[in-house]
Amino acid sequence: MRQRKEAPMNKFWSETVKRTKPYVPGEQLNDPNIIKLNTNENPYGPSPQVSEAIHSEMKRTLHLYPAPDADELCNEISRYYHVSKDTIFIGNGSDEILAFSFMAFFEPHNQICFPAITYSFYPVYAKLFNIPYDEIALNRDFTIPAEDFFGAEGGVVIANPNSPTGLYLDVAVIEDIVMNNPENVVIIDEAYIDFAPDSAVSLVTKYPNLLVVRTMSKSRSLAGLRVGFAIGDPGLIEGLKRIKDSFNSYTVDRLAIAGSSAAIRDEDYFQETIQKIINTRERLIPEMKKRGFHVLPSQANFIFVSHYKISAESLYQRLKQQGILVRHFDKPDIEHYLRITVGSDEQMKHFLEVLDNVILHIKESAVKN
């Protein structure tokens, strides 16, 4: 895994820099022969309409600043989700929106909470903005104990489906958490929701304290374009806009606005590719079980698996040697697991072949030693 070398402290660094513990993203190797199953990208390219839209935008106005509030995309999201424009915030990827949200809704003197096993950027934001946090232990089956999030001190962040587990919380349970935090903002990070049954967006008009954060990187296949959005009460959205307009007026560029708007317009392509990935996931899970893996019931575009005999670390290393990248988190409680992105059928067929060889090889070595 990519490790950031400890830099010597520099006398010009602020206290803020000193307390950071930067997020380490999954490896991005430029070798096109590598099969990347480590950062939950979409194996299918974006809709062909995306490149058409980008091409036509590019010809006109690259020398002019974009619309600061990304109006075109805002209009498409408003139409698609049947929500008014003042409930929508656009950002340079959902990570930027999460960062702005920590600034906008959480305080250095109020402890927030999120699951102990979840997207590992949440504690990174908390350290950056000096916000105390409580990591709520998951149940033994990795499900989220909803009641433990009731009546939080300073706010709640939950990824649904959760990562890296892939487990999904029913919207009714999300609603319980939101209802039981009337004085706090509850952020539901729905990066993977398009692969799951249902979104919490329907609750937004009912609860002034709910912010739903989405990304175009996964289901819309635009990780390379950096676009995310949030839907919430106009009061929350205004708070996010005040932070953004104090930080960077134009966070989303013209090509990203044009491309992501086109992606939302092409509903057929979206539904078709989502369904393909779900079908591949459902075929992959029994194949993994056959090979001796415990597989969590994923509702995302990845699976979280643990082999009953072979260590995750050695599987990760051997797969990498064979040109397949999966994600291994070197962290207690999940060190025995691998997170594997659901690619195309062809990629998963190749993956299973390589996996079979790797398992065979490891077993043979074990017999020899």
The conformational region for residue 277 under phi > 0 = left, psi -120 to 50 = alpha, else beta, is alpha
* Closer Cβ to a second copy, 190 or 233, answer by number: 233
Task: Give the DSSP H or E segment for 125.
Answer: helix 121-128
User: Do the Cβ atoms of 305 and 355 come closer than 8 Å?
Assistant: no
Of 102 and 168, nearer to a second copy (C-beta) is 102
State the Cα–Cα distance between residues 228 and 237, nearest whole angstrom.
14
Q: Which of 3, 31, 33, 63 binds a second copy (CB under 8 A)?
A: 63
The rounded distance, in Å, linking the Cα atoms of 349 and 37 is 13
For residues 27-46, which are near a second copy according to CB under 8 A?
A: 28, 30, 36, 39, 41-46
Indicate the helix (H) or strand (E) that contains 303.
Answer: strand 302-307
List phi, psi (to 5°) of 23: -65, 140
**Scanning residues 157 to 196, which ones bind a second copy (CB under 8 A)?**
183-185
Q: Does 246 bind a second copy (CB under 8 A)?
A: yes
As a whole number of angstroms, the distance between CA 92 and CA 63 comes to 19
Position 214 contacts a second copy (CB under 8 A): no
Whether residue 254 contacts residue 57, with contact meaning beta carbons closer than 8 Å, is answered with yes
Contact region with a second copy (CB under 8 A), list: 63-71, 134-142, 285-293, 295-303: 63-71
User: Of residues 132, 208, 297, 323, which one binds a second copy by CB under 8 A?
Assistant: 208
Q: Check residue 141 for interaction with a second copy (CB under 8 A).
A: no
> Which residue of 215, 251, 261, 301 would you call a contact of a second copy, by CB under 8 A?
251
Residue 78 or 143 having the CB closest to a second copy: 78
Q: Given the complex with a second copy, which of 167 and 266 has the nearer CB atom?
A: 266
- Per CB under 8 A, the list member of 241, 307, 318, 328 interacting with a second copy is 241
Q: Does 20 help bind a second copy (rule: CB under 8 A)?
A: yes
Of positions 87, 118, 217, 299, contacts a second copy by CB under 8 A: 217
State which of positions 64-93 bind a second copy (CB under 8 A).
64-68, 92-93
Instruction: Point out which span in 158-166, 250-258, 311-319, 328-336 binds a second copy (CB under 8 A).
Output: 250-258
Phi, psi torsion values for 314, nearest 5 degrees: -75, -35
Tally of CA atoms within 13 A in the half-sphere of 227 that contains its CB: 25
Which of 31, 59, 268, 369 binds a second copy (CB under 8 A)? It is 59
Nearer to a second copy, 29 or 137 (CB): 29
Sorted by sequence, the CB contacts under 8 Å of residue 325 that are 6+ apart come out as: 26, 27, 29, 34, 35, 36, 37, 38, 319
